Chain A
Amino acid sequence: MTSDLIVFLVLSLVAISAALGMLFSRNAVYSALFLVLNFVTVAVFYLLLGAPFIAMTQVTVYAGAIMVLFLFVIMLLGAENLPPSDALPWQKPLAVLLSAILAVEAIYLLFMNARTNMAIAAPEASVNTMENLREMAMTLFNQFLLPFEVTSILLLVAMVGAIVLTKQEKGGRS
């Protein structure tokens, strides 16, 4: 158990450092790379928790597909280097205010122990084992079929929206 704890501590150090590096890097490509490192670390966390399927999906989807597209866009736009001054002056105080509200809310809920007894309908424990693929598929496609399908429709709508926005109409401008 102690070895797990050591691994966890080291990993969380890496994850937090990567997240901070992502935030404070002045170069968008380095930010993206820090974020990739963060995603991979989170995937290792999932492995540590005995959920290899989610770990692999995390790497494939987030590190492998989404961040590659981010990098692609950053490179195409040539937007690596941020200008030294802030483009939006009102953004910083607003961000501080909003995150302060979030922090207060989170601390309040944490210390008041509010609603911790109301358990969410948890899937069976067998999902969280190494032999979990079949179990997980059964849970996903039986118990959570409707949310699953709704999610896919959400993604489809986003895709259609992107295509509509970028499509040039015939005879229109540009």
Chain B
Amino acid sequence: MDWTIWLEWFLKGLILCLLLLTGFAYLTLYERRALARIQIRVGPNRAGPQGLLQPIADAIKLIFKEELTPAKVYRFVFILAPVLTVVPSLIIAAVIPLGTSFMLFGREITLYVANLNVGVLYLMSIASIAVYGIVLAGWSSNNKYAMLGGIRSSAQMISYEISLGLCFAIAILLGNSMNLNDLVEAQRNIWFVVVQPAGALVFMFVVLAEVNRAPFDMPEAEQELTAGYHAEYSGMKFALFFMAEYQKMIVVSMIGATLFFGGYREPWFMTGWLNGLFSVDRFWFLGPAYLFIKVILLLFFMIWIRATWPRIRYDRLMALGWKILLPLTLVIAFITATGILLQQELNNPLFYWSIPILSIICLLAAVAFIYRDLRRKSHGRF
């Protein structure tokens, strides 16, 4: 335990934080440009080439904005809430492996901050802590709209956390480990998204609700709650909430990529190409690059959904969480566990490959159920 280990940990943590902060800044630009493209606009393109300096301009504007603290807020909690929102979104990334390892000055530098035995549980616990910032922001603002936003977010995040946990359980079952490095290694031969496509899709929807993104952005629904939990925040405190939301987007994309899309590994069919030229085993720097590409694609999925789907009604959000997604994820987890067990016991790969087929059938049944329910409600009520 000499000081170089401490230095290595410190530097890795610092670099990870800086990566996430830069990622947040450029994600805002990416989102605005992508949204604009989908809506046949141009988007911000004035500051710098292709608008590349826009995030810096935004940051300068936010720093110099006047910061108001309303008169009757609970001051301590009011200041604490933005911090409590940002910190989990930063530290949750600590267990996500960004790549394998490389040699520097004669010592092996691994591309993760912490190799935790209970990595998936760590993700789960930090995700469950993240709700506090939003709830406390809503409460301490002493504003009915903010309060409603906070209450909505706590109800929503708790409801969807159960499905999220079951999606984690699916990945754990498939990878036979809770360590994220092991999970990535287990996807060397095939990505889990192929074995369990329904699980990956449900995971992406559940995390949309967990990070309060459209179409599940009920805590800050403009038409109903003005701005929801951050209605009373301005200046840098607002910027912290903004930052947390976008960092959470990046982090859940990283988690999704790690659990279902092979993490930092190349696509499984590319391992043998050109004598392993595309393999992470040969060139360590390909690992972060592959992860980066996957994160960009998953982020585009989120932005795409925001651009095309309307916000869903609050009671339907809860009904979707409890009546559709929870039973669906339970059934999918059961199918996964049974398939793996039967394959191990009877040594027949047929059972393993019945997992994706049965899961997709369950997913289609759930979609059909939603469709029927929506039709019946619209005819019955109006």
Q: Which residues of A contact B (CB under 8 A)?
A: 29-30, 33, 36, 52-53, 56-57, 59-60, 63-65, 68-69, 71-72, 75-76, 80, 130-133
Contacts of A131 in B (CB 8 A): 117
**Choice from B74, B117, B139, B158 contacting A68 with Cβ under 8 Å:** B158
A53 touches B128 (CB 8 A): no
A37 CB to nearest B CB, Å:
11
Contacts of B151 in A (CB 8 A): 72, 75-76
A72 touches B124 (CB 8 A): no
A64 touches B117 (CB 8 A): no
A40 CB to nearest B CB, Å:
8
**Choice from B125, B127, B135, B158 contacting A75 with Cβ under 8 Å:** B135
**Choice from B74, B117, B124, B154 contacting A60 with Cβ under 8 Å:** B124
B154 touches A72 (CB 8 A): yes
Contacts of A80 in B (CB 8 A): 139
A56 touches B129 (CB 8 A): no
A32 CB to nearest B CB, Å:
10
Chain B interface, DSSP helix/strand/loop, else mixed = helix
B171 CB to nearest A CB, Å:
15
**Choice from A30, A36, A57, A76 contacting B121 with Cβ under 8 Å:** A57
Contacts of B136 in A (CB 8 A): 29, 33
Q: Which residues of B contact A (CB under 8 A)?
A: 74, 77, 116-118, 121-122, 124-129, 131-132, 135-136, 138-139, 147, 150-151, 154-155, 157-158, 161, 178
A65 touches B128 (CB 8 A): yes
Contacts of B154 in A (CB 8 A): 68, 71-72
A59 touches B128 (CB 8 A): yes
A64 touches B139 (CB 8 A): no
A29 touches B129 (CB 8 A): no
A29 touches B150 (CB 8 A): no
Contacts of B131 in A (CB 8 A): 64, 68
B132 touches A68 (CB 8 A): yes
Contacts of A56 in B (CB 8 A): 118, 121-122, 124-125
Contacts of A63 in B (CB 8 A): 125, 128-129
Q: Could you list some 9 contacts between A and B, CB below 8 A?
A: A33-B77, A52-B121, A53-B118, A60-B121, A64-B125, A65-B161, A68-B158, A75-B147, A75-B151
Greatest chain B CB density within 10 A among A52, A56, A59, A65 is at A56
Please, how many angstroms separate the alpha-carbon atoms of A64 and B129 in the complex? Answer: 5
A121 CB to nearest B CB, Å:
25
Contacts of A132 in B (CB 8 A): 117
Contacts of B161 in A (CB 8 A): 64-65
Given contacts A29-B77, A68-B154, A133-B178, contact A36 B132 (CB under 8 A): yes
B158 touches A133 (CB 8 A): no
Please, how many angstroms separate the alpha-carbon atoms of A76 and B131 in the complex? Answer: 16
